[in-house]
Structure 1
């Protein structure tokens, strides 16, 4: 499996994270890693298959309303065109840089990378509360 560098900015992804926002704090190490991997692997599945419906369903309500599946497919077209597949991150631990934090707006901001070779998989994620979660 080939690892390619990718910068994935996904705003407002909604995945279960055990009350991250209700407590207004960063989740524990395992929960955070699971959240990051679930997000990136969902994006990767959409990108590899060309079907963004499941990925879209996991986005926060405001983001879903702004970006339908066809629009997401257009936005991430450059990754699909290059056959980028980052599934290898499932077996790796992320490095966070800077440390994850909840910002003043209540968003969980998580940036970092996976030490894939020959190029790193880089991510920039923001999670917001939506639909009661």
Structure 2
């Protein structure tokens, strides 16, 4: 009788709290993320995301991009089976919207502070290039001409140098709190699509959170897949640096403008 009373007391305490030890699984966390956006609570969705997700964009930029993508019209989705690797889970989904237009995405979540949090939203790999784009990254649109398609793939040591130089230049912009000099060093074709103000606003969260990538100066980048020059003449590079206090993941695109490859797109993720 005493054991039964103790059990009933525990239930009385746990039920109002939604369960004493119940943890939200990755699929539920991902679905809740989009439900918040659809309910007009994009800022709540933003603050529930992973550190690396928030570090790339402000809440205002996120809310605007989410609306432009049609995520505010989310009504459900065809969710695939979560694929887990360590503290990372990937889920493919075809989001359904009020207009009936599907939005295919690859949602990646990471485990932080004991909770599953959205880390990135990517498009499925392109059928021609095999590249999966971060839907919130700052990447230029393909130039109208493709002179660079005849430019041969640079050697790996040159690619490593390109990555290092551009990320260190990116870090200098964060430290100086100005992306003006960084803007002047990128591809002219990217400048045609992007203003200094847009670049500054896109990466302002890195400045606000006092992010430092200085650790990459003495580290070697690890390429997650072979770098290649695609049919549009863009050199695509993806990889990471195993640095502290966070791992730096990057995706870059370069366009060849005599006499060198110039940055044409940048996506940086930070994982604690």
Question: TM-score range with shorter-chain normalisation?
Answer: 0.7 to 0.9
Q: When the two structures are aligned, how many residues end up with a matched partner?
A: 122
- Report the counterpart of residue 60 of structure 1 in structure 2: 187
**Secondary structure of the structure 1 residue equivalent to 2:256:** coil
RMSD of the alignment, in Å?
A: 2.5
Per-residue deviation, 1:22: 5.1
Superposed CA deviations along residues 35-90 of structure 1, whole A, max 9, x for unmatched, are 10111111111122112121111111121122222221100011111111101101
Higher relative contact order (CA 8 A, sep 6+): 1
Q: Is the counterpart of residue 23 in structure 1 residue 148 in structure 2? A: no
Per-residue deviation, 1:132: 6.2
Distance 1:21 1:35, change over 3 A: farther
Superposed CA deviations along residues 4-26 of structure 1, whole A, max 9, x for unmatched, are 967795646xxxxxxx865321x
- 2:149–2:230 CA contact under 8 A, matched in 1: no
Query: Match for 2:171 among 31, 44, 57?
Result: 44
Question: TM-score, normalised on structure 1?
Answer: 0.79
Query: Match for 2:199 among 72, 88, 102?
Result: 72
- 1:101–1:110 CA contact under 8 A, matched in 2: yes
- Report the counterpart of residue 99 of structure 1 in structure 2: 226
Structure 2: which 5+ residue stretches go unaligned? 1-50, 57-133, 141-147, 261-272
Distance 1:67 1:23, change over 3 A: closer
- Report the counterpart of residue 15 of structure 2 in structure 1: none
Structure 1: which 5+ residue stretches go unaligned? 13-19
- Report the counterpart of residue 122 of structure 1 in structure 2: 249
Distance 1:36 1:10, change over 3 A: farther
Q: Is the counterpart of residue 87 in structure 1 residue 214 in structure 2? A: yes
Q: In structure 1, what is the Cα distance between the partners aligned to 2:234 and 2:241? A: 22
Distance 1:131 1:68, change over 3 A: farther
- 2:149–2:232 CA contact under 8 A, matched in 1: no
**Secondary structure of the structure 2 residue equivalent to 1:84:** coil
**Secondary structure of the structure 1 residue equivalent to 2:220:** coil
Bigger CA radius of gyration: 2
Distance 1:77 1:48, change over 3 A: same
Question: TM-score, normalised on structure 2?
Answer: 0.41
**Secondary structure of the structure 2 residue equivalent to 1:129:** strand
